[in-house]
Amino acid sequence: MKMPAMGTFTGFPPASQAFYAELEENNTKEWWSEHQDVYEHAVREPMAALLDGLSAEFGPGKVFRPHRDVRFSRDKSPYKTAQGGFVQTAEGTGYYVHLDADGLATGAGCHTSSPARVARLRAAVDAPDEGASLQSIVESLRAGGYAIEGERLKTVPRGYEKDHPRAELLRHKSLTAGKTFGAPPWLASADALEHVRAAWTDLRPLVEWLTDHLG
């Protein structure tokens, strides 16, 4: 497989999904060693090129390492069964893209939930103007087919009325929005970059709100 020049994204070839489908069944150092060239050419290099192609608009991105941190996990399989890419705008906040055996997914938001950040999130959600702005952003994304996710409490946190107009948002300790594309024909072409760009453009208001209030 010919290696594309950095910055030139030509799509994720079918071999990228096949690689992860096989890795799920053979998650060993021996198997990885035998197939590492497929990972490099079909997964890592296209992901790096995708992020490079979006960097002028969204900022420099990072390709996550393929190795799992197994020190505190019962699952000792050494490799992640997905490749992630991330553009950080503030600590734990930014844009995300994800490739695995099922295809492509993308999202954005805040993934961390330290006590200080949760307190800032709740204060901003509670504030009339800031909270209403976030509510409008979330409703628009949900209407556009994005799943609104993140770590949440079962009930409204202490100190806030149960019938608060933004009770659902107050329950969030982290907040993300995402969309799964799967494996459409355009995944193997340069058009995939435009689909990720369009999604990240939709998600920009959420990222900017979170960066402004939690960064």
Q: In the chain, where are the structural domains located?
A: 14-66+75-214
Reported as half-sphere exposure (CB side, CA atoms, 13 A), residue 188 has a value of 9
Contact call for residues 90 and 210 (beta carbons, < 8 A): yes
Has this prediction a pTM greater than 0.85? yes
What is the DSSP secondary-structure string of 189-214? STHHHHHHHHHHHHHHHHHHHHHHHH
- Amino acid identity, position 100: D
Place of tokens 């949440």: 152
Q: In what order do the strands lie in the sheet with 82-90?
A: 62-63, 82-90, 93-100, 103-110, 175-182, 147-149
The fold for domain 14-66+75-214 equals BirA Bifunctional Protein; domain 2 (3.30.930)
pLDDT along the chain (215 residues), means of 10: 60 97 96 97 97 97 92 85 97 96 97 90 97 98 98 95 96 97 97 98 98 90
Q: Which tokens go with 120?
A: 């800032």
Q: Which tokens go with 124?
A: 């901003």
